[in-house]
Amino acid sequence: MTTFDTLIKETKEIGHVAAVSGTIVLVDGLPGASCDEMIVFETGQTGLVRSLGEETVSVIVFSRDPLKVGTRVARTGKEMMLSVGDDLIGAVINALGKRYTNATGTHAAGDGKPIFTDPPGISVRRKITRQMDTGIALIDSLVPIGFGQRELIIGDRKTGKTQILLSVLETQAKAGTICIYAAIGKRKGEVKLIEAFLKERGILEHAIIVFASSFASPGEIFIAPYTAMMIAEYCNGLGRDVLLILDDLTTHARYYRELSLLSKQFPGRDSYPGDIFHIHAKLLERAGNFLCGKGEAAITALPVAETIGSDMTGYIQTNLMSMTDGHIFCDSDLFFRGIRPAVNPFLSVTRVGRQTQTPLGRDISGSVVKMLSGYEKALGFVRFGADVSEELKKTLATGEALWQVFSQGTGDIIPKPLQYGLIARAYSGQWEKTTKETMIKAYHTKADVRKKIETAVGESKTLEELIGKTKVKS
């Protein structure tokens, strides 16, 4: 590894810490420094040049250990880079590349792949045409996600956002997709639970966890999503589809605000700096569906945003909604009613996901949303004691059956053909309390039943046609 004295000889510049403000330091004596360049302190700590002044440079320090004024500083002459390789798969690493699960992993400055890069141009991008199965019936049917899409997961704390993400991760890991989970500013206990879930399901060998602890320095938390995106780009370059989960970007924005205020950057709305939109946009623009060799490979990004009181009009929340291809809203009211997952299909949006659906999928999506809307209105009539007609009874029964279809716990994965089969049965008027469990068990244990459902789904172009093919003859 290059020593501190060797770096001084190579760059012929030696700086000194002129001022310290938390994890932001001002360094003088580095006239050749550039933004995003890695620098090294004589104490062994590392930092990242954030901005350039007339006499000093502002540096983010990747450590909470205090620095003293006068500490010597050396440039590396290189932008921030981390070493990557196939050995990262199955590992838990921090934002600097150091492994938690294997102490031999180290941070490699100046060797590997840069964490800050420009988004790929339009010439290497391809139209999103493949649907990404999540294993969650409500999302696959009503808010479909395509490979290469950027879909925001938004909602209050404790409304099931992590459970949705873990179900999606499990479905895609079992399908061979490389899954990267960026835990930004999380507690160690929370990440341990995620790692335990992946081990229990036998999918850790298809996943990478990038963990920036809430006890880490704000600088390390700031670069965590960029490190995760860099690893995703490396895997994507190998021709692999990648699922990238960024949990969560509202926490990331708060830590970036802290760094900006310590740097005495002029505050804007809610004290966030003026470049907060750019910080997230340049990250998410690196996701997409890309040309890779003679085929395609996608980076599908699922950023997470936390709301307060189900208010989606917050500054960071609306920023993220404007730069993504839709959002899935986890409704606290549905959560407290016991509905899992607590996804509100009326307030959730997918802007490119529908173009990946089959004609059957699009017909099911439109029909189910219309039915659920009618079901909510019918519940209002019943509460006021209105007379219940036969048509209203049918709407109530079908709506109740659909919500039973969409009710899933963490890790309860339902294949898409079975999802469509269950929805068709809910419409058929033959739904009973045990129908869902019976059909799921038969699908997984009886090859003839599975073949019949998959054939019916494959041959049908409308929901009405599928109902006719799957209806049990009396």
Distance CA 239, CA 237 (A): 5
* CATH 1.20.150.20 domain range(s) in the chain: 361-470
Distance CA 216, CA 166 (A): 24
Q: Do 287 and 133 meet the contact criterion of CB atoms below 8 Å apart? A: no
pLDDT score, position 317 = 97
| Below-50 pLDDT ranges, the chain | 102-111, 474
* CATH 3.40.50.300 domain range(s) in the chain: 86-356
How many CA within 13 A on the CB side of residue 429?
9
pLDDT score, position 380 = 81
pLDDT score, position 473 = 61
Q: pLDDT tens digits for 335-388? A: 998 899 999 999 999 999 999 999 999 999 999 999 999 999 888 877 766 677
CATH architecture of 4-79: Beta Barrel (2.40)
Given the residues 64, 72, 351, 354, the one annotated as active site: 351
Residue 383 designated active-site: no
Q: pLDDT tens digits for 203-222? A: 999 999 999 999 999 999 99
Predicted TM-score of the model (pTM): 0.94
Which CATH number applies to 86-356? 3.40.50.300
Token reading at 314: 């917050």
pLDDT score, position 27 = 96
Alpha carbon separation from 423 to 140, 145, 314, 356 (Å, rounded)? 12, 19, 36, 19
Report the topology of domain 361-470.
Lysin (1.20.150)
Nearest-CA neighbor of 283 among 405, 150, 403?
150
* CATH 2.40.30.20 domain range(s) in the chain: 4-79
